[in-house]
Amino acid sequence: MKNINSKYKKQGRPNAKKGLFPRGEKGIALLSVYLTVIAISGVSMTAFGRSFMELRNVEREYARVQSYAAAEAALQSALAQIGTNAYTGFINELPLNPMNFQDVSGNIVGTVEFTMDDASGSDWITIRATGGSGWDQRTIEARVFLDSNFSKYVVYANTPRLASGTNAQYGEPDVTDENNDGVPDYPRLVSSDEDERPAIYITGDWDIVGPNVKLYGDAHVETNISGNPQSDIYGDSYVTQFQQGAGGVSNGGILGGLVVNDGYDDDVDRNNDHKVDATDYPDHHDLTVAGEGDAHAVESLIAIDHNFYASHNNTPAFAGSTPKNRYLQFVPNPAGGTQIVEFDSPAYKTQKATYDLPTSGIVYIKGDAYVKGEIKGRVTVVSTDDIFFTDNMRYENAGDFADAGHSMAFLAKDKVYFLPETVEVSGILYAENSSGSASAFDASQKYVTTQSGGYFVTDTSKNQLLLHGNRVMNGSSNLSIYNTRVYGYDPNLKIFRPIGLPVFPDLRVVREIDNAAVPQG
């Protein structure tokens, strides 16, 4: 048999042992493999690129979240700094030292810092908090309201019962007449904006025992209001005894015939009878812990810290180791601030010494403080015992209300006394009532001056008491001895607080600003 391979060779065919494809077909197959590999590599590279970009985007988003969380941590640190011994005029406004921001595992993922605006003379403070993580940096700006019960209410009484006798007046009628037509802009003599209204706050009952008691503002009472049909609340009431069910109001929280009305058509149809009438208890509202919806929230009084005042005292001569009564007259100093003239007795006959206060100062007295005169600047007087008003205590040039250059507070560890037959006092008055007496504010004493000195006697009837400011007390008061009592509200004290008053921060607005990526090396 002839060799088959020789036959194939003669015919120009490839040897079968050398391959099954023609030479040209082998090149095409190899090229196809190369192209397939290139295509798969391209797809892989594209997928890898997309994955890489997505990973980078995830990392950027992760860094953004971390940096924003760091900025929020800085903001909370700032709020904590304000809330710890936060006294207007002495808020620590220095930037927070930059510190590391850690995740839940303790890994360092960024840094935080903050700065804040000067808080003096304002009820707002602006905080800028910055957080950084990786290549991202976030800055948020917050507006914080500095709130204080010491300057918020015309009366704040932490007492089981506050009684209001005949002719007591809280706040003053708003007779604004912007168009000069002779008719007040507000129908019930209170502003339509409740933030502009005077208000009282009582942790127990408010018992209106006499006629002609007027509140030109809102009442916040944690239990009941016992009314008198010859008395009025020219605003709204917020009472914890207020009760409302599916059918409407079952208890307005007020006993008796007290009139509550702010004069505005801003009430709701509580019993769903398609009209707002007396059955809906207009201007009656709830006072709850949460304060949601139509309700306002209950509040607690911030305690004062005597150690703070002692350490920031501008009159060290009054803070000796032994308690001693001080008889002081405050006089505006032409050179700036206030001068204190000290006398030897409440008769104010013999002068002992003088002391100059800075524009903003604290007078800390170990013992009783007897005071009168006029204040220039922003001054807080603190006594470890009682404060006695021996005569008028007002601002420079007999001013009634605080402003950027004038404000004052008188803080007594125990009680506040009013001695004159007629007296006018401005500012914030606080009686801690450390002795636990029934009355934190008292007018039952009178000082009688004689040739040889003087003495205290009991006085059961006085003429007039005018207060231009806010009264804060642990306990009740014994001021109905004055035939006329006007407790005027000073809204300027919310803005121009005297130094040394406790405040707490209320975060209102937060927004992002100046956010940018950090260049990477």
Over the stretch 182-193, which tens digit does the pLDDT of each residue have? 888 898 999 998
What is the token pair recorded at 437? 């007496």
Q: Does 74 have pLDDT greater than 90?
A: no
Q: Does 140 have pLDDT greater than 90?
A: no
Give 506's strand partners: 145
Strands across the sheet containing 205-208: 161-164, 205-208, 225-226, 254-255
Please name which of 262, 9, 223, 143 lies closest in space to residue 510, comparing C-alpha atoms: 143
The pLDDT of residue 146 = 81
The pLDDT of residue 504 = 79
Pair 233, 257: CB distance under 8 Å: no
The stretch 162-174 carries a mean pLDDT of 95
The pLDDT of residue 49 = 61
Question: Interior CA angle at 484 toward 479 and 490, to 5°?
Answer: 80
Question: pLDDT per residue over 113-137, tens digit each?
Answer: 767 776 555 677 888 888 877 778 8
CA 282 from chain centre, in angstroms, equals 29
pLDDT bucket at 518, cuts 50 / 70 / 90 = very low
- What is the residue extent of each domain of the chain? 54-148+506-517, 149-297, 306-502
What Å distances lie between residue 206 and 102, 225, 244, 457, 488, CA to CA?
51, 5, 21, 30, 18
CB neighbours of residue 506 within 10 Å: 12
Question: pLDDT per residue over 340-365, tens digit each?
Answer: 999 999 999 999 999 999 998 999 99
DSSP 241-261: T-EEETTEEEE-SEESS-EE-
Q: Does 18 have pLDDT greater than 60?
A: no
**Mean pLDDT of all residues belonging to the chain:** 85
124 phi/psi in degrees, rounded to 5: -125, 155
Question: pLDDT per residue over 311-320, tens digit each?
Answer: 999 999 999 8
Pair 238, 285: CB distance under 8 Å: yes
Give 125's strand partners: 144
292-301, 329-338, 411-420, 461-470: least confidently modelled range:
292-301
